Copies of this chain bind each other. A is one copy, B any other.
Amino acid sequence: MNIKKILEDVRDDNINIEDALNKLKDLPYEDIGYANIDHHRELRNGYPEVIYCGAKEDEHIIGIIDIMNKKGSNILGTRCRKETFNKIKAVYPKAEYEELAKIFKIENSKIENIGKGKIIVVTGGTSDIPVADEAYHTAKFLGNDVERIYDVGVAGIHRLLNRIPILQEARVVIAVAGMEGALPSVVGGLVDVPVIAVPTSVGYGANFGGVSALLTMLNSCASGISVVNIDNGFGAGYLAAMINKLK
């Protein structure tokens, strides 16, 4: 435990009070004015910080990459517009982009498989693929064996039932669905592992930008299901990786 170590150093006069305070301050992150970059995270849990590009200025994004790249971290960015990626690519030629998922990565050191089992990503429809791919690429980036089964929504239940043997190989399932969002409930009844439900904003009218699917998933009668934010493929991929890493 870090804090205990610093206290011991203080007691043993290995460090003075001012330095101890600074150490507490400097260690976990680097302050660049518009952002505090958490270098500590990678030490803490084996995963580098991930950049949510959604509402950030392009210069801020590139500034953050710059700092992380200097440390040699692997870098993942989500919700990255194509134009932003092009600017990144101009500076970091190693950067790669997944167009549907709107994810970029810079792989400074080879990603190793640290997951203990297989993660399976299923979708209700073809239109849910961008969100599902965000989950897929996130989990891959975090060192997992991931498999995709797409367009197996509950309105044609046979499509899903035929995949039961494959589904039952998973250690974690990510179930992605828009419109009525019923897929996780059925999947949850078929497997005996955690199901992470991801509502998508796919649909129109009374789906209210994904609220319909979100509520469906929160109210699921099946056990072993939990939910992340609408369209949050990243969050599902990250959580799946975290579960899959449990010893």
Contact = CB atoms under 8 A, between A and B. Distances in A.
Interface of A: 1, 3-4, 7-8, 10-11, 13, 16-17, 20-21, 24-25, 28-29, 31, 33-36, 38, 40-41, 44-47, 50, 52, 54-57, 60, 64, 79, 100, 116-117, 124-127, 129, 150-159, 161-162, 164-165, 171, 178-182, 185-186, 188-190, 192-194, 196, 199, 201-232, 235-236, 238-239, 242-243, 246
Number of copies: 8
Contacts of A17: 4, 7-8, 11
10 contacts: A60-B126, A117-B246, A153-B221, A154-B222, A155-B188, A179-B220, A180-B219, A182-B216, A215-B216, A226-B226
A101 B153 CA distance: 26
A130 to B, nearest CB: 9
Contacts of A54: 127, 202-204
